[in-house]
Amino acid sequence: MGKTLFEKIWDEHVITAREDGDVLLYIDRHLIHDLHFRAFGMLKAKGLEIREPDKLFGTPDHSIPTTAKVLEDIPEGEMRQTVEVLERSAEEHGFTHFSMTDDRHGIVHVVGPEQGITLPGLTLVCGDSHTSTHGALGCISFGIGTTEVQHVLATQSLWQRKPKSMRINVTGKLGFGMSGKDIILAVIREISAAGGTGYAIEYAGSAIEALSMDGRMTVCNMTIEAGARSGIIAPDDKTIDYCAGRPYAPKGVQWDQAVAYWRTLPSDDDARFDKEITIDGDAIAPMVTWGNSPQWALPVTETIPDPSGESDPLKRADMEAALDYMDLKPGMPLSDIAVDTVFIGACTNSRIDDFRAAAEVAKNRRAKVRTLVVPGSGLVKKQAEAEGLDKIFTDAGMEWREPGCSMCVAMNGDMLAPGERSASTSNRNFRGRQGLGSRTHLVSPAMAAAASVTGHFTDVRKLISEA
């Protein structure tokens, strides 16, 4: 019997196995951001060193205000401390660090692929749940906790139990105005926020293959929101072209050898998955979430559901609580929901394709509400500015910010006030995620821009047709 893509990489990285089924995995790449700044002190207190500093890459992202350009722009206190300690630790231990004054710095899940740190066939971890993003390049990537961060620092390995396998086939072709964000919201709506629990998910099918690498990263980014710990997409010519020439990608003969290996990675025709799901990509429409879980999502053309029609009492109670918190009524058209703020950014949607899609909608229009546009890295920012996208946003009255996690996490000064409602390209709409009492609706960059220029949720396909 053949192997899945996940199995091929997993098996190559097993160092040893225990009788209980857990295995010790070798970790090829370890990414770290500012919120794990204490890990270095904890390691030192135990008398331990970083085992392979050349496999560790750090960048500050969560704590940096998106108005800050240098360290002194960050308010004194823990926000500044996280950034200072990460940089000082890099100097002490000799690992690669992209400081906030380096154009290469940014959100860790944007920087990794951009620099060629993320490559097919690797194992990659980071102390952040959305590490699943990197699976878009055909590697096993997942988030780890604080104790696990220390374990990888000290040993370059990690004890894990092999998950079950699921393949989600997205067939057909996306319509115009659609994106990877619409795909993943449709997937989570279909399988639920717990549907991937215990699984590693492989995404396949014509709609996935047609996505750009940026779009694939969006899909894998939100795999964690379906309950799975990792998502992965088989490397193809598009992946190889993306990796070519990246600073940390192999060169010369090593590149040729790497490509030859990568081409062996896609799942074998006779590989068996524990579960398979098929979703019709032709039927996917622009999606909007209405509740406090990514699974509560609907096409923008639909209305808020009525909990009274739900037979499951627990699900019905969950829906009623969500509507109460979000201040929405059953039967209300999604297009009638007005927003106070729009956020375009986060590790989900802060790459160049995302800003091109948003700019197409914003061009020659004016924002009707506060709109923050935040690039995922200094290099994305420079490219967007070279293409004139920043001017489109600022001419529309939107704010073009410095790279960082921004309003996704509401710990760096960018947040909503209690009761405020956002159209956000981030990945989580939990209660208080964007500030105490905040109300978050997840959408694609194009849909976020449409909400900005109309003041409410709008079918972006209409605006694109009118342009």
Say what the pLDDT of residue 128 is.
97
Tell me how far apart the alpha carbons of residues 323 and 431 are, in angstroms, rounded to a whole number: 12
CB atoms within 10 A of CB 370: 17
Query: Counting beta carbons within 10 angstroms of the beta carbon of residue 245, is it exposed (0 to 12), middle (13 to 18) or buried (19 or more)?
Result: exposed
- pLDDT under 70: residue ranges of the chain: none
In Å, what is the CA distance from 243 to each residue of 111, 150, 239, 256, 458? 13, 29, 6, 12, 36
Tell me how far apart the alpha carbons of residues 288 and 297 are, in angstroms, rounded to a whole number: 5
Instruction: Write out the E strands in 269-394.
Output: 275-280, 287-289, 297-299, 341-344, 370-373
Q: pLDDT (tens digit, 9 = 90+) per residue, 168-227?
A: 999 999 999 999 999 999 999 999 999 999 999 999 999 999 999 999 999 999 999 999
Tell me how far apart the alpha carbons of residues 230 and 372 are, in angstroms, rounded to a whole number: 29
What's the CATH architecture for 286-466?
A: 2-Layer Sandwich (3.30)
The two three-digit tokens of residue 407, written as one number: 């309003």
Instruction: Write out the E strands in 239-347.
Output: 275-280, 287-289, 297-299, 341-344
What's the CATH architecture for 5-275?
A: 2-Layer Sandwich (3.30)
Say what the pLDDT of residue 444 is.
98
Going from N- to C-terminal start, the domains of the chain cover: 5-275, 286-466
Say what the pLDDT of residue 1 is.
86
Say what the pLDDT of residue 177 is.
92
Q: What is the pTM of this model?
A: 0.97
- Comparing 5-275 with 286-466, is the CATH topology the same? yes
